[in-house]
A and B are shown apart, each in its own frame.
Chain A
Amino acid sequence: MKTMAPPLLDMRNVSVRLGGNADSLPLIENISLAIAEGETVGLVGESGSGKTTLGMSLMRLLPPLLEKGLSGEIIYAGRDITALSPAEMTAVRGGEISMILQDPMASLNPIFTIGNQLKEGLRLHATARGTLEERAIAALESVRIPSPEARLANHPHQMSGGMRQRVVGAISLTRAPRLLIADEPTTSLDVTIQYQFLELLKDLQRRLGMAMLFITHDFGVVAKMCDRVVVMYAGQIVEEGPVREIFHRPAHWYTRALLDSIPTVDRTPRRLPTIPGSPPPVAARPAGCRFHPRCANAQAKCLESPKVLDVGAGHTTRCWFPLQAQRGAA
């Protein structure tokens, strides 16, 4: 369903290659993705699918070699951020687009106090009222950290994992960005803490009205947090659609296989279904449909690169024989 207002983020034909030549190996290819204001989009895929590269490209934080291989347009709030100078991009980061990383222990500088690291970011937000100290305490309160005044003087190693991730959240959100990229933010947290953290993120999103790109391999998180889902495989988007559609009527065989491999409580487990084979390395991607060697429904036509087909309202897939069409035909 296309929204009437222009999307907050519009990626058009973005590729990231391992070098500046046109024939360098692409990590992600021809990605076109739009995120509307306030929307939460889930980006799902196995490791190696390119989802982290996609996230980093939005922040323009790719390593120099990959930065050279970035092509396409990334339109954020009407501006193409691939064309920005480093200084201009620095202004965008933190203030407009921000990111939460996976490992909170590694993300915080072990030498400086929490307060120091918070105030650093706050200082850049010139328009807010109150002293730095007050604002830092407020930031910690907004992520529900108890006794925030005391915590300001703590060092990262003195806090638990869940609390550290909340601090990272506070830091990433100090300047109320309009788009937050969350790269597997709960993967390194205890299961019991994960739920709390997701609740917190949802709450913050509501309050700040920000859009989120939620990168994850966990469909449970997707179900809880996302409005739309984008499925990636081997550097390409293979399916995209509203969350209910994807869950109940997946169109791509890969998506279906991913969903099938999630163990559920109500089914009697005989054997956990897995997807045979493994994702192809960047240098050895199959011709045509990249999933066809592992696909239960592979046919001769699959050796041709599939086009993107519409299979429902706001639901597209990159497959010659999408599942719904199958069912429809049958």
Chain B
Amino acid sequence: MVDATTASPWRGSRILSGAGNLWRSLDWPLRIASALLILFVIVAVFGPWLTPYDPLTGSLRARLVPPAWQEGGSWAHPFGTDRLGRDILSRIIAGARISLTVCVMVIAIAGAIGTAVGTAAGYFGGWTDRVLMRLVDLALSFPVILLALLLGAISGPSFANIIIVISLVLWSQYARMARGETLKIRNEDYVDLARTSGLSDVKIIWRHILPNIAPALIVIATLQIGVVIVLEASLSFLGVGVPPPAPSWGSMVADGRSYIASAWWLCIVPGSAILLTVMAVNLVGDALADRINPALRGRNI
């Protein structure tokens, strides 16, 4: 057990100086993007403690108040209020939480399933490979939005629904990449060695294959975050995503659509939130992807 009072440098200070060096190595756009992302995560995680008002209840007296910098606005409601008098800033903060939750869950689920399928296909080859890849192709043949609409119509809009639907869209990308990367290293010496030493297939995949294909998969995950956010927003906009009154940024835009000419902030503020967040994600994701594997540059779909 390490004595906390030893004179060796505090781990934390090494992390801090490492972070400092990383910050210095970034150019301006990346710095802004990273700051925005960190802000997004903080706001999403600490949302309930940060909202000045309850995002779900509004006061009808304070309907359609313009943002603070406009005529008639005040700093009590920096981004104004919507048609039910709900504070938009609070709803934006709550919406961030929704977006982040959906992202994390989707990437976890899609990533797990996709990686499992792809790795199995690549490792075992033969029939397993053919069958699983047919499945992947099939998944890719179906236009996603129709699936989302259908599922939304079947069981009504719900949180679980949207996570399932978006996962169904994205898992096949992980499967493809996992299969490709597994194929590349499947015949390497260390895998052969593990096999001859009697290690079970599952153990081999877990210990040897997964850690080596992880970087490529992480790249896919980072590039997908933006896609998830936009997809969730689009589905919520169409009414088959996160159910009201939950303040998903997408449904906020849908709500505000008819007021575009009179109360433009109802639409513009949540839309800008989506835009800025996804831009930041894409910038950081690209830079990360470059660093991990420059060969994947530009392949963003």
A–B contact with Cβ pairs below 8 Å: the answer is no
